[in-house]
Amino acid sequence: MSTSSDSLTSGAPPTAAILVIGNEILSGRTQDINIAYMAKGLAQHGIRVNEARVIPDIDVVIVNTLNELRANNTYVFTTGGIGPTHDDITADCIAQAFGVDIGIHPDAEARLMSYWSERNIQPNSDRLRMARIPEGATLIDNPVSAAPGFCLHNVYVMAGVPRIMQAMFDSILPGLQRGAVIDSVSVLCDLGEGTIASPLRALQLQYPEIDLGSYPGKMPRVDGEKFTVNLVARGTDKKQLQEVEQALIELVSNANGNIVSG
């Protein structure tokens, strides 16, 4: 994997790691939907996601994981742990990871004070924890509930609540380094994976820059369920993708299969 500085200076495609912070995901209480949301947006922006991790609210784990991921990726996107309660320790961990101080950020405080004032919410020391931002960080707007995320170097720190995370992510994405957009085409067919594995492998060898995947599924039918396979090609070269799509359609036809609609 390339380091952040390599990626930024060598013209290599930008890369990302996603870091989901929260016991509620690792206990199975909450189904994460933030990884998929960010992954989609990053692909459309041409940023390759190297990995995603889910870790608990434990400071040493957050600090160490953050330091590993930020060294190995152009960008790191974190979600979770920036609220007012005792288990919200992400901001402090980010400060620790970067070796910088953390304190009340005047602009963050002002945004929160204004939001609270409009709603007759009393400020208190816990609520003000949400204005604590590591030194040198810039704020990420929170149009839902004011408490901002922040960016420090190549690390973007966002809320865990999906609606807030999505608004934050949408606002930062346009400002990120762009790679070639990763497009995809897909062909859904009624063949078994084992039937088309051989021509699919040959096609992958023919187009090494295209990422060819094969995903079994099923669809309802009058006489029960029917097994399907979705053949997905992803890549940055639109011409090659079109050629591969045509080849996939022919591949299904040659194997006496049918294209089905999903």
Pair type for strands 224-235 and 211-221: antiparallel
Should residue 165 be labelled a site residue for a copy of itself when binding is judged by CB under 8 A?
Answer: no
CB of 52 to a copy of itself, least distance (A): 4
Should residue 32 be labelled a site residue for a copy of itself when binding is judged by CB under 8 A?
Answer: yes
CB of 205 to a copy of itself, least distance (A): 8
Should residue 180 be labelled a site residue for a copy of itself when binding is judged by CB under 8 A?
Answer: no
Cβ atoms of 182 and 209 within 8 Å: the answer is no
What's the rounded Cα separation, in Å, for the pair 262 and 259? 10
Closer residue to a copy of itself (CB): 42 or 158: 42
CB of 200 to a copy of itself, least distance (A): 6
Residue 250 contacts by C-beta under 8 Å, 6 or more apart in sequence?
A: none
Closer residue to a copy of itself (CB): 59 or 135: 59
* Location of structure tokens 């816990």: 126
Considering CB under 8 A, how many residues would be counted as binding a copy of itself?
63
Helix (H/G/I), strand (E/B), else coil: 29: coil
38-57: contacts with a copy of itself (CB under 8 A): 38-43, 49-57
CB of 239 to a copy of itself, least distance (A): 20
102 has which bridge partners?
Answer: 134
Q: List the one residue from 11, 86, 174, 223 that touches a copy of itself (CB under 8 A).
A: 86
Tell me the three-class secondary structure of 185-232, residue by residue.
Answer: EEEEECCCHHHHHHHHHHHHHHCCCCEEEEEEEEEEECCEEEEEEEEE
Q: List the one residue from 11, 29, 101, 262 that touches a copy of itself (CB under 8 A).
A: 29
The helix (H) or strand (E) run that includes residue 103 is: strand 102-104
* Contact region with a copy of itself (CB under 8 A), list: 93-101, 117-125, 150-158, 251-259: 117-125
Should residue 173 be labelled a site residue for a copy of itself when binding is judged by CB under 8 A?
Answer: no
DSSP code per residue over 144-182: TTS--EEEETTEEEE-SSHHHHHHHHHHHGGGSPP----
Task: Give the interface with a copy of itself as residue ranges (CB under 8 A).
Answer: 23-33, 35-43, 49-57, 61, 83-87, 121, 124-127, 129-130, 161, 182, 184, 192-194, 196-198, 200-201, 204, 211-217, 232, 234
